[in-house]
Amino acid sequence: MNKDFYASLAWSAHAVKVWDQKGKLDYVLVDDMPISASPPLSFLLDEHRWNELSESLGLIAVWKYDTCNSVARDTRRIPVKPISMNEDEEAHLSQSYDGLCRLFPVDIYPHNIAAVDGLLQSIRKCQLIDGFGLCGTPRDSKYSILLSDIAIYWQWFRIVYSYSGLAPMRHDLFSVLGLWHTYQHAHRLLWCEFRSAFLADAFFSLWPTQTLLLQPKLKQSATFVGWLLLAYRRFRPQLLASFRLIRAEVLLYQMFFTAALRSGDVDDYNLRSRVHCLAPLFCVASYRDKYVALCNLLYLFEFAIPTLIDYGASIKLGDYGVWKEALKCILKLYINSTSAGTLTCCLNFASRF
């Protein structure tokens, strides 16, 4: 067996989900012209729109623990599924629309959809079945929906917006990133951000003999994160008290440091986080490290974990408004996490006090 053999095993699975409720995919017309399914690039890159999104994300409170749905509904099921609050929710949850009931496998294609060639060939197969972007098919005046995972979605997004020859497909095809993959990926993000600082220690205290690579499997990660959120209720007051104490010490230290600068005892401002001459006064040798660590720990418990579980639960709940709010929160989590998880988190969090 060689590399070519393994490459030949990279196939693509195609399935359809059958919608059993009211809904049509007919073209929407404006001035007798159908609207494109995919937004134009000018819409996606509009600066004003990005500013609006940025502002709306800024309004999302980092103190999410008290208001998050997973705590309010006491979500304890793994895989995450919220407890229903009324008959409608109960009826919806019992249908399991994300299960196998409405999924019908179509075929396995011998193409590697992770590669550009394989993606184009797989999409072509779908096109010949569904007719999007083609003329003279039974679905001529209808849109189509392509539901895919992150790798396929991102690859397709770049291709379809890069080549003008694919404009008919862009017009007809709603490319939707599968909602569950965002949840799965957010778990990976959480481990990347907090593994070395907090999560690995907690993981090994629970499972000392197990191996932890980048992240545990999703079910174990979801269980672990759920346990953390349950435990947080107990030690939250202590953590908040410690945070307030060290924040007061930091402020006091900075005041003394400023006084020392003015009096000439210290002449280099860049030493502010390393000068230990004042430390015995407060018994805080490395206050800055502790402060940042506590900020990150609070961010993990107050925002990151509730956001993650809320998003997972919102997919199952099926309420568009709840899901969109959860999506915004998880987008904020992603944006905050781009700077290696310390500085941005710290600044965002400190600004809340």
Partner 1 sequence: MHHVDYWESHNLPVFNLFSQNVTFFSEESGEIAISILAQSLPTNHSGDLKDTQRYCHITALMWSCSKWKEAKLRGHEAKLFETDLKLGQKTKKHRILRKTNLYSLLAAVLL
Cβ 111 to partner 1 shortest distance, Å: 11
* Residues 99, 82: Cα–Cα separation, whole Å: 16
Cβ 21 to partner 1 shortest distance, Å: 6
Cβ 299 to partner 1 shortest distance, Å: 21
Encoding tokens for residue 171? Answer: 């017009």
Cβ 340 to partner 1 shortest distance, Å: 23
DSSP 39: P
Based on CB atoms, which residue is closest to partner 1, 152 or 266?
A: 152
Based on CB atoms, which residue is closest to partner 1, 226 or 284?
A: 226
* Residues 216, 213: Cα–Cα separation, whole Å: 7
DSSP 20: -
Cβ 292 to partner 1 shortest distance, Å: 27
Encoding tokens for residue 330? Answer: 């998880």
Expressed in angstroms, the distance from the first to the final Cα of the chain is 60
Cβ 128 to partner 1 shortest distance, Å: 17
Based on CB atoms, which residue is closest to partner 1, 1 or 214?
A: 1
Based on CB atoms, which residue is closest to partner 1, 151 or 271?
A: 151
Cβ atoms of residues 106 and 11 within 8 Å: no
Cβ 145 to partner 1 shortest distance, Å: 6
Based on CB atoms, which residue is closest to partner 1, 43 or 204?
A: 43
DSSP 166: G
Based on CB atoms, which residue is closest to partner 1, 149 or 249?
A: 149
List phi, psi (to 5°) of 27. Answer: -55, 145
Query: Element (H or E) spanning 6, and its range?
Result: helix 3-8
DSSP 147: E
* Residues 231, 235: Cα–Cα separation, whole Å: 7
Count, residues in the chain: 353
Other CB atoms closer than 10 Å to residue 251's CB: what's the count? 10
* Residues 293, 130: Cα–Cα separation, whole Å: 53
List phi, psi (to 5°) of 267. Answer: -120, 0
Based on CB atoms, which residue is closest to partner 1, 269 or 320?
A: 320
Residues whose CB is less than 8 angstroms from the CB of residue 296 and which lie 6 or more positions away in sequence, other chains included: 194, 197, 198, 341, 342, 345, 346
Cβ 140 to partner 1 shortest distance, Å: 15
